[in-house]
């Protein structure tokens, strides 16, 4: 119960703070260039083949005006990961005069988007410029140039049709790679034949599971294979679910028995959650010790896709009283340990360009889980009172 009480009280703080300013003002908080976050344990020939094919397609059409390529698939299936692999492909380097990554998200704002694009082209905007002014400025900047843009996590085709199409058509040539959960969004944006990312086969998922657990002994890989494959099926072949499960399993013995116990846990079938949050994602939360649960839920106060700084979180968690005292250690030091534990459990994703994982993000589905659980707890409190 105290988790949510505190959580709700902090909503007031966040509402009053920069994190909850109108959409147009949050652009500095969203770290839009997340292209460097390439998965260290990339698995599956499918992913590599898809990457190769899509890079070829991009290069074939690089002289066209605003050619679109699309990647579609359910949440957590690997669209952003594939787009990152493409974005970092060696043969794309130097193919366009300007290349950048933009994380669009559900709550994008037209102004933020245009400002971000201008920034990509090295232009700084004045305060208070209107949408029309920003759009004209962008059109003038891209004139005669060629560009490659990844628009990651697009929820509405209007991002293209209403905001970016007109200014970007001024460029001599350009390719836009769109990732979205919805086929209809890809088509309405003008993508022909989007690439569909499917959930992983049991074998590929198993490879991701043991690699994410750093299992290096071939005998272990062979001995645990059958139960491992069952676990992958329980995860629905979803790489995000497999990665969080890997960290939960890493705390168990590496035996068939211990893993079978894990697979039979009742938390797999908690029924009152939205389908996409059930099973492995919920279990990874359920497995957390109480103090980490509070810290995890707290992160959902940040808007979707924002970058969170370790030092801010440490300060806020300490102020909330989430940190348990440990003999001979400052609360801030313990809070830092909590931060790294959440990263280790794949519940927060470190931002690779920062030294020491000083900044991180929360995957959208995990944030949804945290929001959902907080709301559930709120209803519980209301009922109890
Ligand atoms: N081929 C892969 N090999 C290894 N890990 C992968 C692979 N594909 C995805 N992952 C991992 O799965 C997790 C989810 O992937 P990703 O963020 O790309 O999903 P997404 O489809 O973009 O989800 P969303 O729709 O919520 O944006 C990430 O932690 C990523 O590292
Ligand atoms: Mg994504």
pLDDT over 80 at 6, yes or no:
no
Which pLDDT tens digit goes with each residue over 328-363? 999 999 999 999 999 999 999 998 766 788 999 999
Q: Which CATH number fits domain 2-18+288-384: 2.60.40, 3.30.70, 3.40.50, 1.10.10?
A: 1.10.10
User: Residues within 5 Å of ion ligand 2 by Cβ?
Assistant: 80, 153
Q: What's the pLDDT at 21?
A: 41
Separation of 80 CA from ligand 1 center, angstroms?
Answer: 6
Closest ligand 1 atom, residue 200 Cα? 1
Separation of 39 CA from ligand 2 center, angstroms?
Answer: 12
pLDDT over 90 at 66, yes or no:
yes
| Among 35, 1, 15, residue whose Cα is nearest residue 303 | 15
Q: Which residue has the CA at smallest separation from atom 23 of ligand 1? A: 76
Q: What's the rounded Cα separation, in Å, for the pair 113 and 32?
A: 10
- The side-by-side arrangement of strands in the sheet containing 98-103 is 98-103, 146-152, 173-180, 67-72, 195-196
Pairing of the two strands 173-180 and 195-196: unpaired
pLDDT over 70 at 208, yes or no:
yes
- Domain 45-196 in the same topology as domain 2-18+288-384: no
Q: Which two tokens stand for residue 173?
A: 């040539």
Q: What's the pLDDT at 15?
A: 47
Q: What's the pLDDT at 34?
A: 52
Band the pLDDT of 376: cuts 50, 70, 90. confident
Closest ligand 1 atom, residue 208 Cα? 4
Name residues contacting ligand 1 (CB within 6 A).
39, 41-44, 47, 73, 75-81, 153, 181, 208, 239-240, 243, 363-365
**DSSP per-residue string spanning 167-215:** HHTTBSEEEEEEEES-HHHHHHHT-SSPEEPPPPPHHHHHHHHHHHTT-
Q: Which residue has the CA at smallest separation from atom 18 of ligand 1? A: 78
Q: What is the 3-state secondary structure (H, E, C) of 254-279?
A: CCHHHHHHHHCCHHHHCCCCCHHHCC
Which pLDDT tens digit goes with each residue over 79-135? 999 999 999 999 999 999 999 999 998 888 999 999 999 999 998 877 888 999 999
Q: What's the rounded Cα separation, in Å, for the pair 181 and 104?
A: 13
Please report, for residues 121, 144, 270, the alpha-carbon distance to residue 167 in angstroms, rounded to integers and kept in the order given: 13, 12, 48
Separation of 6 CA from ligand 2 center, angstroms?
Answer: 30
Q: Which two tokens stand for residue 345?
A: 């459990």
DSSP secondary structure letter of residue 326: B
Which CATH superfamily is 45-196 part of? P-loop containing nucleotide triphosphate hydrolases (3.40.50.300)
What b-and-e string marks burial along 81-97, b requiring 16 or more CB atoms within 10 Å of the CB? bbbbbbbebeebeeebb
Could you state, in order of their start, the residue ranges of all structural domains in the chain?
Answer: 2-18+288-384, 45-196, 202-285
Q: Tell me what the mean pLDDT of segment 194-214 comes to.
A: 96
pLDDT over 70 at 316, yes or no:
yes
Separation of 250 CA from ligand 1 center, angstroms?
Answer: 20
Separation of 73 CA from ligand 2 center, angstroms?
Answer: 9
pLDDT over 90 at 18, yes or no:
no
Separation of 306 CA from ligand 2 center, angstroms?
Answer: 13
Is residue 305 a contact partner of residue 107, using CB atoms and an 8 Å limit? no
Q: What's the rounded Cα separation, in Å, for the pair 38 and 162?
A: 31
Q: Which residue has the CA at smallest separation from atom 7 of ligand 1? A: 78
- What is the three-class DSSP state of 236? coil
What b-and-e string marks burial along 295-321, b requiring 16 or more CB atoms within 10 Å of the CB? bbbbbbbbbbbbbbebeebbebbeebe
Q: Which two tokens stand for residue 372?
A: 């959902």
């Amino acid at each position: 119960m105290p988790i949510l009480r505190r959580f709700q009280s902090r909503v007031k703080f966040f509402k009053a703070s920069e994190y909850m300013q109108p959409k147009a003002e949050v652009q500095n908080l969203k770290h839009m260039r997340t292209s460097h976050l390439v998965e260290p344990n990339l698995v599956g020939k499918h992913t590599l083949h898809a990457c190769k094919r899509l890079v070829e397609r991009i290069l074939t059409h690089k002289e066209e005006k605003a050619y679109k390529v699309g990647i579609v698939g359910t949440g957590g299936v690997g669209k952003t990961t594939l787009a990152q692999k493409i974005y970092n492909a060696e043969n794309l380097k130097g193919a366009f005069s300007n290349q950048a990554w933009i994380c669009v998200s559900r709550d994008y704002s037209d102004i933020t988007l245009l400002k971000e694009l201008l920034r990509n082209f090295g232009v700084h905007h004045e305060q208070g410029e209107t949408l029309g002014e920003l759009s004209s400025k962008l059109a003038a900047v891209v004139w005669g140039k060629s560009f490659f843009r990844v628009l990651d996590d697009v929820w509405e085709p209007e991002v293209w049709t209403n905001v970016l199409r007109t200014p970007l058509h001024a460029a001599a040539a350009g390719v836009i790679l769109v990732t979205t959960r919805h086929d209809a969004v890809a088509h309405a944006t003008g993508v022909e034949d989007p690439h569909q990312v499917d959930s992983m086969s049991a074998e590929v998922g198993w490879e991701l599971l043991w690699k994410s657990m750093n299992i290096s002994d071939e005998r272990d890989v062979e001995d645990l294979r059958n139960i491992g494959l069952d676990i992958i099926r329980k995860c629905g072949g979803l790489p995000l679910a497999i990665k969080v499960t890997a960290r939960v399993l890493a705390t168990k013995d590496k035996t068939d028995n211990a893993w079978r116990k894990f697979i039979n846990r009742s938390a797999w079938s908690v029924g009152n959650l939205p389908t996409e949050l059930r099973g492995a994602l919920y279990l990874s939360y359920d497995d957390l010790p109480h103090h980490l649960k509070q810290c995890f839920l707290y992160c959902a106060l940040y808007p979707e896709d924002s970058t969170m700084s370790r030092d801010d979180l440490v300060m806020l968690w300490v102020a909330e009283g989430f940190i348990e005292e440990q003999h001979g250690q400052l609360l801030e030091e313990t809070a830092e340990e909590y931060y790294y534990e959440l990263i280790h459990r794949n519940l927060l994703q470190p931002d690779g360009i920062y030294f020491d994982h000083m900044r991180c993000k929360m995957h959208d589905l995990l944030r949804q889980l945290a929001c959902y659980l907080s709301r559930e707890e709120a209803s519980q409190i209301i009922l109890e009172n």
